[in-house]
Amino acid sequence: MTNAFYVALTFKLRTLGSRDRAAEVKAREESSWEHLGVPREDMAKAVKAVVGQADIDVLMPFAQRLWNEPVWEFKIAALSMMNLEHVSVNGELWRFVIDCGPQVDGPALADCLALVGRRCLRDDPARLDDLAKWPASSNKWMRYSALCFTTQWTEKGFDPAPVLEWVRTLAADKEQCVQDMIGDWIRKLGANDSNRRNMFLAAHGDELKPEVLAEGRR
């Protein structure tokens, strides 16, 4: 079954590609992977058409095989199928997410991985502990993902303290993607807990870029 899925989906994706679009996306993503130039909406349709209602036990080997290929669209497809509503969340899916982290090298992969990561964290918030080393990673997209995964800790009913500590350690990070994610995270926190937001900005606002500070205050 896995091989049939793999052959069907990879063939379909290769037929949907565009050389010009591939070059454009590769440059935008600053990606090291091969790009086929498949529009995202076409990728989503292809994934749904091939996998149908197959669940995690069938899809996991397929997703792992796709992720291990050096093709950007295959990696996006692997994450997209793991984010389908009917796909069950379990420990194996979370391990897959954690294993994918070090290979993430651009915004689209990071955001797709975060969609799956958030599903896993909502299923079991204790999984947060497994991200503890990500804010110190040399990979800027893993540092970004540590906050992108954890926006639910800005919501009522969650104690933001553990993730706020990560935000504090990242406040002086010079990477724009990390700074932008800090602004987004703090803004969302302020919508539910303005006191915690204001305390954080009073203590660390001078470490943030002006536009990020403005976003956090919004």
Q: Name the CATH code of domain 1-123 (choices 3.30.360.10, 1.25.10.90, 3.40.50.460, 3.40.50.12500).
A: 1.25.10.90
Show the tokens assigned to 63. 């997703």
Is the pLDDT reported for residue 157 higher than 70? yes
pTM (predicted TM-score): 0.94
Write down the pLDDT at residue 93. Answer: 98
Is the pLDDT reported for residue 1 higher than 70? no
Give the pLDDT confidence of 91-146 residue by residue, as tens digits: 999 999 999 999 999 999 999 999 999 999 999 999 999 999 999 999 999 999 99
More confident: 72 or 3: 72
Write down the pLDDT at residue 23. Answer: 97
Angle between helices 176-192 and 194-204 (to 10 degrees): 140
Give the pLDDT confidence of 169-213 residue by residue, as tens digits: 999 999 999 999 999 999 999 999 999 999 999 998 888 888 988
Q: In the chain, pLDDT over 90 holds for what percent of residues?
A: 90
Is the pLDDT reported for residue 12 higher than 80? yes
Domain limits, CATH 1.25.10.90, in the chain: 1-123, 130-218
Q: Provide the pLDDT confidence category of residue 42 given band limits of 50, 70 and 90.
A: very high
What's the CA gap between 49 and 194, in Å, rounded? Answer: 44
Write down the pLDDT at residue 209. Answer: 87
- Say which CATH topology domain 130-218 has: Leucine-rich Repeat Variant (1.25.10)
Mean pLDDT, to the nearest integer, of 8-18? 96
